[in-house]
């Protein structure tokens, strides 16, 4: 086996997160992440025939080491090495809700697979990621499709649309940018009325994606943020979103990154971002700068997304 290389992208929190009904109608936690083009993790895996187990650098990235070990068991050829050395590098900050742990894990699994001469199926990577982390973001899917992902099951609940419409996001930090630990315990299933509210948002997001409507995507993200938290930090973010031209907000549901959503095809988006940056500063929310995502165009209703 050769030295393998892999990459895992990060995300910028979620557009939607809550509880959604899958097969049989049983509600499960699910989320739709907002991709981020600004950061990711590179992994290098060097198989070693001598030691049993995986050592990782930097130390402490134990989930990635565990994922690499699971990947060796799942995809390494018979008689292959049982361990190796894993090295991770990348500027993804931890604990901000950008999927740093999943980016580590995805990069590690891909590096092991590359060492084996294999391109892993995303579903295999998702299964290993959940086994290593307990919950995973859908960062193993590289195509632009927007997915509702059951993060504690490692499965796609629904492909909501072929791509996000173009969005301009002005990033910022809530809670002073303090790191947040994602709870290890699975959250309790809420009452039916709460699940119904999330299902309504699911339907709205699907429709907005099929119309390539940035305003509807932003409205869903804003409502999801309101359902998740009611505090001074969100109030400040919503206040900054009152700048004309800002469509809404998005947040990390477990983390402190957040953003104001702007239509890049709207009137003078650069000027909107300037005013919104000042509004964030006045609200005491540090801006992390703008980025763009999305490539979607309207899709005919006859190819609407999969229904549950």
Q: Is residue 307 pLDDT above 50, yes or no?
A: no
pTM of the entire predicted model: 0.92
Task: Tally Cβ neighbours within 10 Å of residue 209.
Answer: 29
CATH class of 4-133: alpha beta
d(CA 236, CA 131): 37
User: What is the mean predicted confidence (pLDDT) over 60-82?
Assistant: 91
Distance of CA 215 to the CA centre of its chain: 20
Residue with tokens 């199926």: 121
Task: Record the tokens describing residue 218, joined without a space.
Answer: 């932003």
Q: Please give the Cα distance from 94 to 255 (Å, whole number).
A: 9
pLDDT at 117: 93
pLDDT band at 263 (very low <50, low <70, confident <90, very high): very high
pLDDT digits (tens, 9 = 90+) for 93-133: 888 899 999 999 999 999 999 999 999 999 999 999 999 99
User: How many helices (H) and strands (E) are present in the chain, helices listed first?
Assistant: 7, 10
Tell me, what's the pLDDT at 39? 81
Report residue 215 as tokens.
């305003």
pLDDT of residue 296: 79
Percent of the chain whose predicted confidence (pLDDT) is above 70: 95
Strands 83-89 and 27-48: antiparallel
Q: Work out the mean pLDDT of the chain and round it to a whole number.
A: 92
Look at residue 185 in the predicted model and tell me its pLDDT: 64
Mean pLDDT of 261-266: 96
Question: pLDDT by residue (tens digit) across 199-224?
Answer: 999 999 999 999 999 999 999 999 99
Sequence ranges of the domains in the chain: 4-133, 164-293
Domain 164-293: give its CATH architecture: 2-Layer Sandwich (3.30)
Q: Please report which confidence band the pLDDT of residue 300 belongs to, taking 50, 70 and 90 as the band edges.
A: low
Tens-place pLDDT, residues 166-195: 999 999 999 988 877 766 667 778 888 999
Q: Which of 42, 32, 26 is nearest to 12 (CA)?
A: 32
In this prediction, residue 145 carries a pLDDT of 97
pLDDT at 305 over 60: no
Parallel, antiparallel, or unpaired: how do β-strands 167-173 and 287-293 relate?
Answer: antiparallel
Instruction: Give the per-residue pLDDT at 118.
Output: 92
| Residue 302's pLDDT band (cuts 50, 70, 90) | very low
């Amino acid at each position: 086996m050769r030295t393998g290389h892999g990459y895992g992208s990060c995300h910028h929190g979620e557009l939607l997160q809550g509880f959604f009904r899958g097969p049989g109608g049983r509600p499960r936690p699910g989320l739709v992440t907002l991709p981020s083009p600004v950061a990711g993790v590179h992994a290098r895996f060097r198989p070693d025939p001598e030691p049993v187990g995986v050592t990782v650098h930097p130390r402490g990235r134990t989930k990635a080491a565990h994922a690499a070990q699971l990947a060796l068991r799942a995809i390494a050829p018979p008689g292959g090495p049982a361990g190796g050395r894993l090295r991770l590098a990348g500027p993804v900050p931890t604990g901000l809700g950008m999927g740093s742990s999943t980016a580590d894990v995805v990069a590690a699994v891909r590096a092991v697979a590359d060492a084996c001469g294999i391109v892993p199926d995303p579903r295999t990577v998702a299964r290993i990621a959940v086994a290593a982390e307990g919950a995973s973001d859908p960062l193993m899917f590289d195509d632009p499709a927007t997915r509702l992902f059951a993060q504690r099951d490692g499965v796609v609940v629904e492909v909501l649309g072929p791509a996000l419409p173009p969005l301009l996001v002005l990033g910022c930090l809530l809670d002073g940018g303090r790191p947040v630990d994602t709870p290890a315990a699975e959250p309790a299933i809420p009452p039916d009325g709460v699940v119904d509210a999330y299902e309504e948002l699911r339907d709205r997001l699907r429709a907005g994606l099929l119309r390539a409507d940035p305003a509807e995507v932003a409205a869903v993200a804003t409502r999801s943020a309101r359902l998740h938290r009611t505090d001074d930090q969100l109030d400040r973010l919503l206040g900054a979103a009152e700048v004309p031209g800002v469509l809404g907000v998005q947040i990390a549901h477990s983390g402190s990154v957040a953003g104001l959503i702007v239509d890049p095809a709207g009137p003078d988006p650069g000027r909107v971002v300037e005013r919104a940056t000042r509004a964030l500063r006045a609200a005491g929310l540090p801006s992390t700068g703008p980025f763009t995502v999305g490539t979607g165009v309207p899709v005919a209703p006859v190819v609407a997304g999969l229904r549950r």
